[in-house]
Amino acid sequence: MSRLHGRLVVASHNSGKVREIGALLAPLGVEAISAAALGLPEPEETETTFAGNAALKARAAAQASNLPALSDDSGLEVFALGGAPGVYSARWAGPDKDFRFAMERVWRELQEKGATDFSARFVCALALAEPGGETQVFEGEARGSIVWPPRGEKGFGYDPIFLPEGGDRTFGEMTHEEKLPLTHRARAFEKLLAALR
């Protein structure tokens, strides 16, 4: 994989995710453009793993844009729920992307199971694809636990119910700058940057 330079497509239509990835790419001097800004369609996520879905999205964006593409597939795995919602994290929020509804479902299912273990992790798989070339995947995780009720209005997705290990504030209570180094995405990025250096 060559060193990145110039423009790179972030194969996501999630503005929070695109902003986070843009900030992580900034030290490389790479301009991140979202798939939405280029009008690229979102491919159907048909894989059963984060790595599989990330690779599928990166290859589709690289092919459609003829630019290197970086895709992230990430989600929340709750151990007492057998790893759910996992790759279905976004789908649990429904067609309206209502994460309040998704967070309530996580909590309801934990209650229905009579769970006493609230440990969870965010997982991120980053895939970097060259147009017509190879695809590399890098994975990272952030461990923590589920808290209820949700705390904080910052962040996105399941952030308000995720308390990172060793912390006393949820991802939803942290500023973007405080949260970023602790995330699954930052850890996957460390591996990506090491491979590019």
Write out the catalytic residue numbers: 73
Dihedral of CA atoms 92, 94, 99, 105 in degrees, nearest 10, equals -40
Cα 83 to Cα 108: distance, rounded to the nearest angstrom: 15
Cα–Cα distances (Å) from 103 to 77, 106, 172, in that order, read 12, 5, 12
Q: Contact, 87 vs 49, CB < 8 A?
A: yes
| Residue 76, Cβ density class (10 Å: 0-12 exposed, 13-18 middle, ≥19 buried) | buried
* Alpha-carbon span 85 to 106, nearest angstrom: 8
Tokens of 39: 């009008």
Paired tokens of 27 = 């030290």
